[in-house]
């Protein structure tokens, strides 16, 4: 309860500052009243959804996500405004103090706010506010196909030109537009890759979230099959289950659901992909994440049936597994495919120029292709979204990787 009180107080303090900027810019009372009404509605909806809504507790529903997204947009607007106004207040206070000490009247008074500074503050604050709203309306379904050609010295000849489509982090419990998801499924199939690999987080929390989308994802096609692994959200660890049996059943249902959709779910297992006399090993581990994330992945168990010298593709949901365990392993994993980070669903990317997101402070390998010790990883930015119901700058991704045999010059 105390946390809610502190949060509400901070929210209103931010609102008072923003209201001052509005009063400096315009004399129309309806503008102030509209801002106050919107501010109260956003706060009230957020409190309702997270205390008395249809899904109380930690489970994120679509309505909760939108309540959070709108609050985030409003807080971004207010926070940037207050940076400018608070800086101005420091100047005003110093100017008032100088007037009292050295001025003719010897009275302490604050100079009026400068209109142009309030205009600058509101204009800059409108940028993230608009971007966050755009991310909720359009950005979350702004699917991008990212294509890479990766070269390897020891790729078996028959696999030269082999195409892999990777998707990750579906988070089906967040979807709210069937037409857009159908478009994305068609986009995946249009790539006509040899194999489709899904690297975890099919749902937010419960298997039932995938039921409305089962028919669509069942239409995904790849001539050499569809393979998947589990992500941290697939285990149902973020739900307050009534019984351990209910949680166990949920995981069992999700595993069965993936198989019904045509995915070969790899649970610390491996498969060989064969073309003529050549083969490559496909390995899938359960989730292994640094920190408090589940560490069910068992790399040694997963490679028990393959040879050390095989060309290997590893599916592992969390890129911290690659950094902490895979790179140090005795086996050489030519290519690892991960997801998990979502690129934080927010950042700036201009191909060839800029790639930045706050998530880089948490994950060294957070989006795209990296190479270390002669081994590569692709971190997919994610198909869906979680928490904030949108994407800004870091768009939903469908990865197409073409394996190439490096030619000696």
- Out of 10-19, 128-137, 219-228, least confident range: 10-19
Quote the number of domains for the chain.
2
Residues 173 and 68 in one domain: no
361 within 8 A of 373, measured Cβ to Cβ: no
Residue at which a domain ends, from 116, 137, 158: 137
Please say if the pLDDT value at position 256 is more than 90.
Answer: yes
Same structural domain for residues 67 and 178?
Answer: no
pLDDT in tens, 313-360: 999 999 999 999 999 999 999 999 999 999 999 999 988 889 999 999
Q: Are residues 154 and 101 part of one domain?
A: no
Shared domain check, 286 and 171:
yes
User: pLDDT for 53-109, tens place per residue?
Assistant: 766 556 778 899 999 999 999 999 999 988 877 776 676 666 666 566 666 665 655
Q: Look at residues 118, 137, 156 and tell me which one is the last residue of a structural domain.
A: 137
Q: What is the span of the domain harbouring residue 86?
A: 2-137
Q: Is the pLDDT of residue 1 over 80?
A: no
Q: Which of 137, 158, 174 is the last residue of a domain?
A: 137
| Residues 180, 133 share a domain | no
**Does residue 275 sit in the same domain as residue 361?**
yes
Predicted pLDDT of residue 26: 81
Residues 37-58 have pLDDT tens digits of 999 999 999 999 988 876 655 6
Judged against a pLDDT cut of 80, whether residue 204 lies above it is answered with yes
124 and 149 co-located in one domain = no
* pLDDT of res. 211: 97
CA-only gyration radius of the chain, Å: 26
Query: What whole-number distance in Å separates Cα of residue 191 and Cα of residue 167?
Result: 12
82 or 296: whose pLDDT is higher? 296
Co-location of 334 and 197 in the same domain: yes
Q: Is 256 helix (H, G, I), strand (E, B) or coil?
A: helix
**pLDDT in the model for residue 351:** 83
- The label of the residue with tokens 């009275």 reads 107
Burial class (CB in 10 A: 0-12, 13-18, 19+), 237: middle
On whether both 131 and 167 belong to a single domain, the answer is no
Q: Say whether both 154 and 70 belong to one domain.
A: no
Question: Same domain, yes or no, for 147 and 132?
Answer: no
Reply yes or no on whether the pLDDT at 149 is more than 90. Answer: yes
Q: Is the pTM of this model over 0.85?
A: yes
Q: What is the pLDDT of residue 54?
A: 67
């Amino acid at each position: 309860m105390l946390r809610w009180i502190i949060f509400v107080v901070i929210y209103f303090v931010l609102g008072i500052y923003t209201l001052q900027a509005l009063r400096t810019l315009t004399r129309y009372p309806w503008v102030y009243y509209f801002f106050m009404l919107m501010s109260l509605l956003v706060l009230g909806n957020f409190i309702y959804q997270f205390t008395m809504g249809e899904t109380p507790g930690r489970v994120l529903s679509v309505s909760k996500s939108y309540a959070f997204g709108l609050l985030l947009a409003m807080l971004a607007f207010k926070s940037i405004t207050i940076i400018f106004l608070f800086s101005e207040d420091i100047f005003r206070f110093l100017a008032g103090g100088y007037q009292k000490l050295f001025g003719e009247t010897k009275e302490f008074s604050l100079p009026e706010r400068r209109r142009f500074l309030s205009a600058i503050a509101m204009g800059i604050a409108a940028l993230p506010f608009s971007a966050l709203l755009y991310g909720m309306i359009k950005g979350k379904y702004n699917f991008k196909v990212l294509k890479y050609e990766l070269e390897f010295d020891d790729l078996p000849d028959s696999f030269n030109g082999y195409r892999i489509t990777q998707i990750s982090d579906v988070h089906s419990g967040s979807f709210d537009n069937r037409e857009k998801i159908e478009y994305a499924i068609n986009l995946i199939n249009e790539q006509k890759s040899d194999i489709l690999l899904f690297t975890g987080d099919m749902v937010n929390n419960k298997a039932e979230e995938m039921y409305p989308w089962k028919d669509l994802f069942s239409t995904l096609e790849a001539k050499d099959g569809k393979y998947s692994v589990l992500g941290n959200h697939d285990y149902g660890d973020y739900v307050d289950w009534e019984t351990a049996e209910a949680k166990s059943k949920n995981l069992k249902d999700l595993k069965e659901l993936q198989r019904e959709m045509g995915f070969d779910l790899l649970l610390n297992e491996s498969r060989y992909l064969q073309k003529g006399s050549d083969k490559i090993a496909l390995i899938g581990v359960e989730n292994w994440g640094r920190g408090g994330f589940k560490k069910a992945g068992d790399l040694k168990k997963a490679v028990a049936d393959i040879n050390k010298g095989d060309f290997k593709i590893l599916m592992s949901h969390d890129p911290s597994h690659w950094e902490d365990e895979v790179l140090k392993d005795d086996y050489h994993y030519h290519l690892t495919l991960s997801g998990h980070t979502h690129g934080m669903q927010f950042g700036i990317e201009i191909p060839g120029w800029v790639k930045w997101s706050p998530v880089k402070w948490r994950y060294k390998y957070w989006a795209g292709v990296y190479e270390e010790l002669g081994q590569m990883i692709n971190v997919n930015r994610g198909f869906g979204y979680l928490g904030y119901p949108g994407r800004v700058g870091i768009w939903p991704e469908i990865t197409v990787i073409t394996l190439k045999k490096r030619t000696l010059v």
